[in-house]
Structure formats: C-alpha cells, structure tokens
Amino acid sequence: MEVKRSQKKKIILEAAAKLFRDKGYSATSMRDLAAEVNLKASSLYNHIGSKEELLIEICFANAERFLNGIKSINETSLSSIEKLKALIALHVEIALEDFTSVTSFNDEWRQLKEPYLTDFLKMRKDYELIFLEIINTAQNQGQIKNIDPQICLYTILSSTRWVYDYKQNSKTDDFKQIKNSILEIVTAGISC
C-alpha cells in the first residue's frame, strides 16, 4: 500500500511541476492538479498535505541535486577550469534530465513561505559561495580571465537557465551536442 501511495505522490509531483511551469504556482489550483492526475480534489489530500508541500519538495529536491553536485565536483582533484566545466555540464544535464521540475525550481522558488524561503536561500547561498571559490581559484591560477567573480558566476548560471525552455520546444534529442556547445561558448569567453 505504501509503495502505491509513493508512486501516486510521484505522479502528483510531476503533474504539479508541469502545472507550475505552464501556469505558475499562484495560478495553479488544487482542482487543476486533481484534474491533471485524474483524482477528485478532495482525494489529493490522501497523498499530499497542500500545494505548498509540493512546491517545497520540488524546490528542495532540486537545490539538493545542485548542492550535492557542486560539493562532489569541488572535492575532486580536477583543475579549477575543469571544475567550472563540470559545473556547467551539471547544470545542463540536470535541466535536460528533468526540465519540468527545474523550470518550476528556477521560476517559482520565490513563492516559498517562511521558514522554507530562508532555508532555501541559505542552500542557494552555500552553492554560490562554493562556485565563487572555484572561480576565484581559477583566476588566481591564471586559468580564467580576471573578471568580477560575481559577474562571472551569474553569467555562467544565466547561460544555462534557458536550456529547459530549449528542451521543451526543441525537436532535437542530441543532449551531448547541446552540452558541448554551451561548454564551448562559455569557457571560450572566460578562459585565458
């Protein structure tokens, strides 16, 4: 019974991510969600506590994916420029693997309420601090240009945020080409 319930919750989470992406969190109702998963709105509460619970789970699951990924990359013996390439690849791969959830994560996190918003922002800040540390090390070692680290960080991040839109509207499934093209463009711009 518990397995069946967790499978249904996964279906509900995926449907919620899709609706949050397409309509926005605020515009998505429990009725919309119930219709999407072929349940009555009252039956949803057998599987979830609230719409907010779904947003929390989507945001924190993705934040953990990124934070665990950067920590893993940072602990390797790769050079700093190789770590930056691995981080760019991580962003592209996560966006291509689960573009619906990542879209909700990127666009709807601002809808989180306290204390979740503070916790989420702390995870985001921790991520950015590790990323900045890698950028600073790469600059100090002469591996990338001496560009303001914050500008470098946000340029790298924004250069990968559009991938989920591209994936949603593209007919190509050549994810390796997409990842390699982004890597080439971004690293060419920052490399010495």
User: What are the structural domains of the chain?
Assistant: 56-190 (1.10.357.10)
Q: Are 91 and 152 in contact (CB under 8 A)?
A: no
What is the per-residue pLDDT for 75?
98
What is the per-residue pLDDT for 95?
84
What is the per-residue pLDDT for 33?
96
Q: Summarize pLDDT for 111-141 with one digit per residue, the tens.
A: 999 999 999 999 999 999 999 999 999 999 9
Instruction: In whole angstroms, give the CA distance from residue 118 to residue 81.
Output: 31
What is the per-residue pLDDT for 48?
92
What is the per-residue pLDDT for 127?
97
Instruction: In whole angstroms, give the CA distance from residue 109 to residue 61.
Output: 12
What is the per-residue pLDDT for 167?
62
What is the per-residue pLDDT for 85?
96
164 membership: H or E segment, kind and range: helix 163-169
Mean pLDDT, contiguous 10-residue spans, the chain (192 residues): 71 93 94 94 89 95 95 98 96 84 87 97 97 98 96 92 70 76 91 86
What is the per-residue pLDDT for 2?
55
Give this prediction's pTM: 0.88
Burial of residue 55 (CB within 10 Å: 0-12, 13-18, 19+) is buried
Pull the structure tokens for residue 37.
């998963």
